Amino acid sequence: MSFERKTALVLGATGVSGRALISHLEALPDWDLLAASRRAPEFETRARFLPVDLLDADSCRSAFANLPQVTHLFYTAYADRPTIAQTREPNALMFRNALPAIDAGAPNLRHVCLLQGTKYYGQYLGKFRTPAKERDPRHPNPHFYYDHEDTMFALQQGRSWTWSCARPHVICGFALGNALNLIAVLCVYASMMKAMGRPLTFPGKPGAFTSVYQATDAGLLARAMTWMATDPRCANQAFNVTNGDFFRYENIWPAFARYFDMEPGGVERVDLREVMAGKESVWDGLVAKHGLVSNPFSKVADWNFANYAFSNDWDVMSDTTKCRQYGFLEFLDSEEMFIRLFDEFRAAKVIP
Catalytic residue among 6, 75, 78, 119: 119
Among 334, 345, 343, which residue's Cα sits nearest to residue 168? Answer: 334
Among 60, 70, 67, 74, which residue's Cα sits nearest to residue 32? Answer: 70
Cβ atoms of residues 16 and 79 within 8 Å: no
Q: What is the DSSP letter of 132?
A: B
Beta strand segments in the chain, E: 6-11, 31-37, 48-51, 72-75, 111-115, 162-167, 171-172, 200-202, 216-217, 237-240, 264-267
Using CA atoms of 239, 38, 161, 3 in order, give the dihedral in degrees to the nearest 10: -90
User: Is 121 known to be catalytic?
Assistant: no
Q: What is the DSSP letter of 59?
A: H
Using CA atoms of 121, 126, 131, 134 in order, give the dihedral in degrees to the nearest 10: 0
Q: Which helix (H) or strand (E) holds 89?
A: helix 84-105
Question: Cβ contacts of residue 157 below 8 Å, gap of 6+?
Answer: none
Cβ atoms of residues 116 and 163 within 8 Å: no
For 188, other C-beta atoms within 10 Å of its C-beta total: 24
Among 27, 10, 43, 244, which residue's Cα sits nearest to residue 115? Answer: 10
User: Is 289 known to be catalytic?
Assistant: no
Catalytic residue among 145, 189, 213, 322: 145
Beta partners for 35?
10, 49
* Sequence letter at residue 11: L
237-240 and 111-115 strand pairing? unpaired
How far is the CA of 8 from the CAs of 94, 103, 162, 222, 320, in angstroms?
19, 14, 14, 12, 26
CA-based R_g, the chain, Å: 20
Active centre residues (catalytic): 119, 145
